[in-house]
Structure 1
Amino acid sequence: MGCLFGYCGRPSKGLLNRMAKILKHRCKQGWEQERLTQSNDHVFEIGHGIPMWSSDSQVGKISERNTAFGYSGVFFNAKQVVHSETKSASEILDAMKNEPENQLQSLEGVFTAAFACEDKSFLIRDPAGVKVLYWTLNRERLVFASEIKALFADTSVPRKMRMAALPEYLTFSFIPGERTMFEDIYELQPGTTLKYQQGKVSLQRHFVFENAEWDGKHPRAEHDYAEQVRSDLEISVRECCAVNNNGMPPSVFLSGGIDSSAVLAVAANQFPGVPIKTFSVHFGPRYANENEYVSMMAERYHTDHTWIEIRPSNFIKRMRQIIWKLDDPIGDPITVPNFLLSEAASRVSPLVLNGEGGDPCFGGPKNIPMILSNIYGQLPGESADSWLEQDYLFSYRKCFDDLENMLNPDVLKASGGREALAAIITPFLKSAVPRQFLNKLMTINIRLKGANLILVKVDKMSSANGLLALPPLFSKRIIETSMACPPNLKLVGNVEKGILKNAVEDIVPYPIIQRPKSGMMVPVRFWFRGEMRRYAKKVLSKKNLSRAGFFNIPYVRSLLNYDKSEIQSYRCGLKLWMLITFMFWYEQMAERRSLYMSD
């Protein structure tokens, strides 16, 4: 719940109402709007879905100054930046009398915002990209919304799938960067300001965390860096908890890993004697789980814990609806646990903390193979121009090595093939800043995987359930502090997240500190051998695949019987999940079947 939508440019009667109708799953408390006439043929209209966590109006205008402002989310430093004691949009706007553009760029928190003054309009996304905003420029009208589908409420916006997006999706499991599945529809990137004036758009990235990289001079003791990380985490958790006006602690999503355990430990110490409600998922006794470590944390901090067992029978009838709420296809199976966790947590609190950010900000285990590639160099047969980029794409372990088998040759050719995919990564690896290779990898993880996958899926799944999900480990200060830490403190030999572990070793049990990351492995490989086999065959039928026209049908159909054929079964379950997710997205969004969907 909670969303932002609107437009600036030529007036369009009823457009805001149509957008709100499409976003009704995020406007269950109702919605508010504001309109500013900038000239005879130019207006700024903005709508906001009212959230459960705030009673403050988040849209407002000052007619005599010809300004309007709206936002979705929360600000942590509005008092310091605009000297406003309130969260009301009108009062924040009133306080932004001098250099409003600079003041907007200085705001920290979890938000998207829109601002208009005189003949200019601005869109802005929070530094890490926790909240999401899409935009398109069409016929002298800039249209924006928290979900892509709402942009099509403007019937003049063309709905044309971008052919290069399908190989991107199959390689990454999400669409990286500012492009989306549609031509001429964009995702505003984290820490970026969009300026719209006289029918033209310009973009400025104002949060450039790479500049905080340690320069190799004046090294500090390791414990000093650990103390800084601990202090920043405590401040970030405190800021997140302050969103709850009732003084009660938020809920916490608890996985049993170091990241969510650190967040819970800090939050529990800030609310001594008050049981925190925690939630975690597992997939039943047959499959690997982290229940032992979840229980360890829940017992140590005396939480009120809820277990959620996830089986296909729990969600299979709702899968189309869940994918519809994702908006852009995301092929990570963890989206379903994200949705069901959010659904359960929303019944007890409108606010939840999670552990997202630990891997991107502190050097997770997937960086190690890339560091080895960089050390040992190009292997025989690899492209001389982009071997390192292609190694990176292989490291996602999705479908990059299988694109020629999965896609029609015409589709792959039209998309630019592997070289076009490698070109997405090249600017990050070739950039002069950051200098250190680990920090280059972390920059990719923060700006692409973090902002376009991790944070987007959590935002979509939590907002669909009226929940505000906050990641203390993905705050602006944590990102900058991590970049300022020497790489050898983040990745200590083959031990990932070393400095984070040192920072919380006194509040997180040793078995959690010392164990390697295992990750939440959704058992799709086994589900498609059993409960989901018939379902997959129906969705990926020859008729459906032929209608879409993108895939090599015999090969895709062979994946359905991976346990009975000569095809290598490793990752086949994940590939099937990604294909099903895409087919639902294509049916709902590209074929125009489901702009509206009831709950």
Structure 2
Amino acid sequence: MCAIAGIFDLYRQPDIDAGLLQRMTDIQAHRGPDGSGMHREPGVGLGHRRLAIIDVKSGQQPLFNEDQTVVVVYNGEIYNFPALRRELEQFGHIFRTHCDTEVIVHAWEQWGERCVQHFRGMFAFGLWDRKQQALFLARDRLGVKPLHYALLDDGQLVFASEMKALLAHSRVRRELDPLAVEDYFAYGYIPEPRTIFRQIRKLEPGHTLLVRKGSSPGLPKRYWDVPFKPHRLVSPEHAADELVARLREAVSIRMVAEVPLGAFLSGGVDSSAVVAMMAQQSARPVNTCSIAFGDARFDESPYAQMVAERYQTNHHGARVEQHDADLIDQLACLYDEPFADSSALPTYRLCELARQRVTVALSGDGGDENLAGYRRYRRHLHEERLRSMLPLSLRKPVFGALGRIYPKADWAPRPLRAKTALQGLARDSVAAYFHGVSLMGDQMRAKLFSPSLRRNIGQYRAVEVLRRHAAACPADDALSQVQYLDLKTYLPGDILTKVDRASMAHGLEVRVPLLDHQLVEWISGLPPSLKLQRGVGKYLFKKGLEPYLPREILHRDKMGFSVPLADWFRGPAGPRLQRCLNSPVLADCGLFDLPYARELLSQHQSGRRDHSAPLWSLMMFESFLRQMLDEPRLSTERQAA
């Protein structure tokens, strides 16, 4: 795993500032502690930091083709590179190394922009073709690896793995995007392609961007999408066996490494399945790592220990405590923009633990989105059945009124917390799903935001992110549609971002077999009833795994990888939260109604309401402002200008 950076002048041929390019590269040294490289020619500069995994002795980057006219900097792993190499050699291409990076330059020569369709893996790269005077940027299909870019006022395009590298450039403006603030406090992260800064964009998963010298950059081009194309199945039993076989193969190709290899083991179905497949294909005990919590409501470590004992892994654990909330400032620096998933804390500790023993770890991420594991899918389908019985014109006034008057009883048993369900029934399908996944509802965001921020947001609402993807969804059933929304937003924007930054902070590569694009394509074509059946998520997956995992793992309630924030904020972390809400940075930025924020804190600490998620999002935003902006006194009027 690596870090990349680059500078490309669209219209001129200046000497690229070597010191600037080195700073952009070295600020990402945590992603690639094993070495660095740089290439400069008039109008173009490419930088690279390397974490050596395959072909450790060679494979340094930037890497060229035979005649030095094509050069690439690349972050990721292409697992089918041996087969691609053999194919390209038959076309006459000559290889000098044994690493996967070299197939990129030859695949570009052979297939041009279509080269990405031949790659199986996770990747983000920048490639310069001197003959065509073209820069080509690409990101893998599901967004496992990040890529950010910005077009500057002087005609330079800069790109990098992490935004902090772009911010090292003095002409990248640190100007907040009000629409990104709206997105952040709705989702808890900022969905692609937007970032917290107006000028910087994320290249969306499954997209490429081709920029030619002398031309303005066009729009990114999509080269892949989740097909949701139904396929014929012999029987559910046969499908379950094939699913496990496909997972085993996806795990197998990700076990190739010249460095120590291991796995995350939470004790959930997905990570346990990955460990089971690894153990069957490894001559040595698998190295596994897990995180424990002192609060039994959040602690899955006994289940992880159960799987570790079954497969006799070398298992290691660590515990997350309340004082780990002090990592807030460190996390804000890692993510470069506000990021409110509190499971970033245990993820950081898990990666720290794993890196003490391995350089590569396999994870179970992606299973919930692929195989319908989230409880919210079950709730959404239930609400969809109710919504189908009455037209929106009738549902909206009736259930809207009921939702307004029904109390929000965070303290009550789950069956009595009907407010969200009633509000969802008053909405269309996309708006209802958005309401269910939102960190803060529309009314709460409106109260939290200052009048000037609300003016600058205008008519835009964060639900438009989901509406854009819903319009492109190839599936017509309710379950596949919300899975598609999560695969396009929550998975890359939250889950994969969280793991990438936390792992790369420790120089750890994480591979994700459940997000192998061939496996994702095949799973998407399964009947929805085999993913979610009679209220059981991952139905087919669990049936196929019965020979490999105990019932206690397969059929227990889902816990999730979260921390007891509500209790922390009513305990030792409370004073830290008080200081945050009284911070001059929050007061001076002009974005928030701070008396309302303090009201949320008062309600939470009294035990009447659970506002832990909104309060955590404010803490992370305050830390971001304090550390990442040169001038925290950014008024919304200046942003609008």
TM-score clears 0.5: yes
2-structure distance, mates of 1:236, 1:408: 49
Q: Which residue of 2 aligns with 1:25?
A: 30
Q: 1:438 to 1:489 in 2, by over 3 A?
A: same
1-structure distance, mates of 2:302, 2:605: 34
CA shift, 1:436, in A, is 1.9
Q: Which stretch of the first structure deviates more once superposed, 394-403 or 474-483? A: 394-403
Q: Does 1:59 find its partner at 2:62?
A: yes
CA shift, 1:542, in A, is 5.1
Q: Which residue of 2 aligns with 1:536?
A: 577
1-structure distance, mates of 2:590, 2:351: 35
CA shift, 1:96, in A, is 4.7
Q: Does 1:302 find its partner at 2:312?
A: yes
Q: Does 1:337 find its partner at 2:346?
A: yes
Among residues 73, 83, 92, which one is paired with 1:70 in the alignment? 73
Among residues 9, 17, 20, which one is paired with 1:13 in the alignment? 17
Q: Does 1:268 find its partner at 2:283?
A: no
Q: Which residue of 1 aligns with 2:219?
A: 202
Q: Which residue of 1 aligns with 2:204?
A: 189
Matches of residues 172-321 of structure 1 in structure 2 within 5 Å? Answer: 172-197=187-212, 198-210=215-227, 212-214=228-230, 218-242=232-256, 244-245=257-258, 250-272=261-283, 274-285=284-295, 287-314=297-324, 316=326, 318-321=327-330
CA shift, 1:50, in A, is 1.2
Do the aligned residues in 1 keep the contact of 2:268 with 2:553 (CA within 8 Å)? Answer: yes
Q: Which residue of 1 aligns with 2:409?
A: none
Among residues 333, 336, 356, which one is paired with 1:327 in the alignment? 336
Residue identity opposite 2:456 in structure 1: A
Q: Which stretch of the first structure deviates more once superposed, 56-65 or 435-444? A: 56-65
Deviation by residue 1:71-96 (Cα, 9 ceiling, x = unmatched)? 11211112333436721645652465
Secondary structure of the structure 1 residue equivalent to 2:218: strand
Q: Does 1:101 find its partner at 2:129?
A: no
2-structure distance, mates of 1:430, 1:20: 38
Q: 1:385 to 1:410 in 2, by over 3 A?
A: farther
Q: Which stretch of the first structure deviates more once superposed, 279-288 or 495-504? A: 279-288
Do the aligned residues in 2 keep the contact of 1:58 with 1:72 (CA within 8 Å)? Answer: no
CA shift, 1:591, in A, is 3.6
2-structure distance, mates of 1:74, 1:431: 29
CA shift, 1:208, in A, is 1.6
CA shift, 1:559, in A, is 2.7
Q: 1:488 to 1:143 in 2, by over 3 A?
A: same
Do the aligned residues in 1 keep the contact of 2:233 with 2:239 (CA within 8 Å)? Answer: no
1-structure distance, mates of 2:321, 2:430: 37
Q: Which residue of 2 aligns with 1:488?
A: 529
Q: Which residue of 2 aligns with 1:353?
A: 362
Residue identity opposite 1:310 in structure 2: V
Q: Which residue of 2 aligns with 1:2?
A: 2
Q: Does 1:471 find its partner at 2:512?
A: yes
Secondary structure of the structure 1 residue equivalent to 2:347: helix
Q: Which residue of 2 aligns with 1:40?
A: none
Q: Does 1:446 find its partner at 2:461?
A: no
Q: Which residue of 2 aligns with 1:587?
A: 626
Do the aligned residues in 1 keep the contact of 2:182 with 2:461 (CA within 8 Å)? Answer: no
Aligned residues: 577
Secondary structure of the structure 2 residue equivalent to 1:372: helix
Secondary structure of the structure 1 residue equivalent to 2:210: strand
1-structure distance, mates of 2:346, 2:37: 31
1-structure distance, mates of 2:266, 2:176: 36
Do the aligned residues in 2 keep the contact of 1:112 with 1:124 (CA within 8 Å)? Answer: yes
Secondary structure of the structure 2 residue equivalent to 1:345: helix
Among residues 167, 177, 185, which one is paired with 1:152 in the alignment? 167
Q: 1:86 to 1:63 in 2, by over 3 A?
A: closer
Residue identity opposite 2:109 in structure 1: K
CA shift, 1:386, in A, is 6.1
Secondary structure of the structure 1 residue equivalent to 2:339: coil
Unaligned runs of 5+ in 1: 38-42, 594-599
2-structure distance, mates of 1:231, 1:190: 26
2-structure distance, mates of 1:132, 1:432: 23
CA shift, 1:209, in A, is 1.9
CA shift, 1:286, in A, is 5.7
| Identity percentage of aligned residues | 27
CA shift, 1:285, in A, is 4.6
Secondary structure of the structure 1 residue equivalent to 2:275: helix
Q: Does 1:380 find its partner at 2:396?
A: yes
CA shift, 1:170, in A, is 1.1
Do the aligned residues in 2 keep the contact of 1:393 with 1:400 (CA within 8 Å)? Answer: no
Q: Which residue of 2 aligns with 1:427?
A: 468
2-structure distance, mates of 1:27, 1:443: 33
CA shift, 1:135, in A, is 0.7
Q: Which residue of 2 aligns with 1:412?
A: 454
Q: Which residue of 2 aligns with 1:596?
A: none
Secondary structure of the structure 2 residue equivalent to 1:5: strand
Q: Which residue of 1 aligns with 2:552?
A: 511
Secondary structure of the structure 2 residue equivalent to 1:175: coil
Q: Which stretch of the first structure deviates more once superposed, 157-166 or 44-53? A: 44-53
Two-structure CA RMSD over aligned residues (Å): 2.3
Q: 1:501 to 1:58 in 2, by over 3 A?
A: farther
Q: Which stretch of the first structure deviates more once superposed, 70-79 or 482-491? A: 70-79
1-structure distance, mates of 2:619, 2:465: 25
Residue identity opposite 1:569 in structure 2: R
Do the aligned residues in 1 keep the contact of 2:344 with 2:502 (CA within 8 Å)? Answer: yes
Residue identity opposite 2:123 in structure 1: F
CA shift, 1:18, in A, is 2.0
2-structure distance, mates of 1:187, 1:131: 11
Residue identity opposite 1:392 in structure 2: Y
Q: 1:82 to 1:205 in 2, by over 3 A?
A: farther
Residue identity opposite 2:570 in structure 1: R
1-structure distance, mates of 2:473, 2:6: 38
Do the aligned residues in 1 keep the contact of 2:377 with 2:479 (CA within 8 Å)? Answer: yes
2-structure distance, mates of 1:462, 1:60: 25
1-structure distance, mates of 2:120, 2:100: 16
